[in-house]
Structure 1
Amino acid sequence: MSRSSLTRSAAFASIGTALFLVGLKLWAAWKTDSTAMLGSLADTALDLIASIATLVGVWIASQPADRNHRFGHGKAEALAAVFQVMLITLSAGGIALRAITRLIEGGETAAAEEGIAVSVIAILATFALLAWQRHVIRKTESIAIRTDHLHYQSDLFLNMAVIVALVLDQYLGLSLADPLFGLAIAAWLAWGAFRAGGEAIDHLMDHEWPEERRDEFLAVLARHPDIRGVHDLRTRTSGADDFVQFHMAVDPHLSIVEVHDMMDEVEARIEKEFPGVEVLIHPDPNGLVNEQGPAAEELLPERN
């Protein structure tokens, strides 16, 4: 399957799972009057909206570059992730407010058996969805699917928390368990939103590749015998697309044609090691020092 087909399949699977769970949890929240169950319902309802946003985001991101978007549409995935983060944050705030109200005013839950049964079904459905999402993430590294995956990972803990809260409340008589678990769920969601938001912002702000990957890229360049040095290396990722640009120091006595052929060879080596990466190379005569950065030779690892 292509990347776009995989990401769309994961988005459709999320939507289908969320629709199923919303119906179940709506009934369970009505039967149990549990704050923890209501929090789980609110999270799943927002998951449904977020999954629809994910589908839209991955569909837009899969569109090829065009006249007005020469670098493609990859950042649509990060925008979808930011939208999901906003929904998760709203969900966390609403759950926390309801839990605090229950702590102050009191209240009892009911129908523990129904609530527990619904939570177990939700856990099984979520496990199946997470397995498919992990497969898609391994194949595509989609930030939108990864953020959606975070939602459903938290759903596992949400559903487990609902079960524990109902057991403690109705079978052991610990009436504060339900709102306290509601607060814990809200805190978990807020922390997940913070982490996912940081990754999405990194994509939108053209964050550099991880240091390990940059080092691997430089190692590929270092193996070319005619490259005298590299400086002003810049990297970024936009959805499924990676972009790299750098200055390359070459023998100043080479002709333009020879430099051009050398650049083609370098690009071929990069394509072999980093398939699909779009590369922009600026050749510099060896010995020229960039006044705004280090000398060319300083950014290449030593050759053996």
Structure 2
Amino acid sequence: MTKNNISPLSVAFLSLLVGCFVLGFKWLAYWLTGSIALYSDALESFVNIAAATAALLALRVAYNPPDKNHPYGHTKAEYFSAIFEGLLIIIAAILIILEAWSRLFSPIALEGLTIGLSVSLFASGINALLAFYLIWQSRQHYSPALKADGLHIFSDVITSIGVLVGIGLAWLTGWWWLDPLLAILVAVNILWMGSHLLRNSMSGLMDESMSDRELQPVYDIIRAEMQGAIQAHQIRTRRAGHLSFVEFHLVVSADMPVQEAHLICERIEKALDKALHQAIVTIHVEPESELERTGFTLTHLMTK
């Protein structure tokens, strides 16, 4: 269960609407000034809209219930959205560099900066509010698609502020080559952001384990709730969108009744599901003859 009643689809749709609104203002700022740096800022808003659209479509698929062909659900669809967004970001960065490179050696004085920068600042303020809202909602829903969208827009806000400060300096000093130089610096930052998104999304598709920060509560819960059992080992975890998957072997006494072993497993499963917010837990019960003397066991983990 999620922590609030606002669906991820509603959040993604809001991101798309706000993205269209912000694009209009940023393109107006570019049209008023002719600034290549503001052009780069406006171009990234096109990426924001495409990314929000992809996130909306991915979430529609991800929240479909499991079916015969997808018994584990459709949650990995969110990672495809994040990968698409990463690719769009990289393409936008390349286009910005191509546009700015020629202007770097032939800078021109900019006009209409007072109203142009004001319009851009207003648009950036709206983007900042949207970014914080998306990141907050991604934590409520454990959604990589919303998180990618929020972080992307937040990075856009940071670069927009840098662009505004830089253009202001160019205006004060007359160093108009700062405008295309800033655009190139923005593009480099966008390239880094796109590669970071691609890496994180590919990790999700490759079933990478939870991070150490996420794993420690899992270990603590298993250790706290396994009273009556002897050992837990071969603990494996992964994430798929808003779902968490935990698998491990639980060693119990050979003469323990099946019902008692089941109650232990049920207790662990409920605790993990509550802590991880929608967890699929698979526990393989083994007799004490299967104790592991070496290898990856809970006991070893907790004593490291």
Fold match (TM-score > 0.5): yes
Aligned residue identity for 2:265? M
d(CA) in 2 for partners of 1:94, 1:135: 31
Task: Name the CA shift for 1:261/1:142 in 2 (closer, same or farther; >3 Å).
Answer: closer
CA contact (8 A) 1:230 1:299 kept: no
- 1:231 aligned residue: 233
- 2:55 aligned residue: 54
The farther-off stretch of 67-76 and 205-214 is 205-214
Alignment of 1:47-196 (within 5 A): 47-196=48-197
- Overall identity of the aligned pairs, in %: 26
CA contact (8 A) 1:237 1:243 kept: yes
Residue 43 of structure 1: how far off its partner (Å): 0.3
Give the count of matched residue pairs: 301
CA contact (8 A) 1:50 1:148 kept: yes
Residue 299 of structure 1: how far off its partner (Å): 4.3
CA contact (8 A) 2:132 2:154 kept: no
Structure 1, residues 191-237: CA drift from partner, whole Å, max 9, x if none?
Answer: 21122222212211111112233232222222332221111111111
CA contact (8 A) 1:57 1:77 kept: yes
The farther-off stretch of 202-211 and 152-161 is 152-161
Partner SS, residue 294 of structure 1: coil
Task: Name the CA shift for 1:271/1:131 in 2 (closer, same or farther; >3 Å).
Answer: closer
Aligned residue identity for 1:139? Q
Q: Give unpaired runs (5+ residues) of structure 2.
A: none
Q: Does 1:248 align with 2:243?
A: no
CA contact (8 A) 2:51 2:149 kept: yes
- 1:287 aligned residue: 289
d(CA) in 1 for partners of 2:75, 2:298: 33
d(CA) in 1 for partners of 2:273, 2:207: 21
Aligned residue identity for 2:149? D
Partner SS, residue 47 of structure 2: helix
Residue 271 of structure 1: how far off its partner (Å): 3.9
Aligned residue identity for 2:234? D
d(CA) in 1 for partners of 2:269, 2:20: 47
Structure 1, residues 118-166: CA drift from partner, whole Å, max 9, x if none?
Answer: 1111122112212322331231231111111122112222322332233
d(CA) in 2 for partners of 1:117, 1:257: 69
Task: Name the CA shift for 1:2/1:64 in 2 (closer, same or farther; >3 Å).
Answer: farther
- 1:211 aligned residue: 212
Aligned residue identity for 1:285? P
d(CA) in 1 for partners of 2:270, 2:143: 26
Give the TM-score of the pair, scaled to structure 1.
0.89
CA contact (8 A) 1:122 1:159 kept: no
Structure 1, residues 69-91: CA drift from partner, whole Å, max 9, x if none?
Answer: 11111111111011000001111
Residue 257 of structure 1: how far off its partner (Å): 4.5
CA contact (8 A) 1:4 1:62 kept: no
Structure 1, residues 241-269: CA drift from partner, whole Å, max 9, x if none?
Answer: 11111111111223444433443344344
Task: Name the CA shift for 1:213/1:45 in 2 (closer, same or farther; >3 Å).
Answer: closer
CA contact (8 A) 2:207 2:238 kept: yes
Alignment of 1:9-28 (within 5 A): 9-28=10-29
Give the TM-score of the pair, scaled to structure 2.
0.89
CA contact (8 A) 2:132 2:150 kept: no
Task: Name the CA shift for 1:130/1:2 in 2 (closer, same or farther; >3 Å).
Answer: same
Aligned residue identity for 1:66? D
d(CA) in 2 for partners of 1:196, 1:14: 18
Q: Give unpaired runs (5+ residues) of structure 1.
A: none
Task: Name the CA shift for 1:100/1:202 in 2 (closer, same or farther; >3 Å).
Answer: same
Task: Name the CA shift for 1:111/1:52 in 2 (closer, same or farther; >3 Å).
Answer: same
Residue 300 of structure 1: how far off its partner (Å): 6.0
CA contact (8 A) 2:227 2:264 kept: no
CA contact (8 A) 2:58 2:77 kept: yes
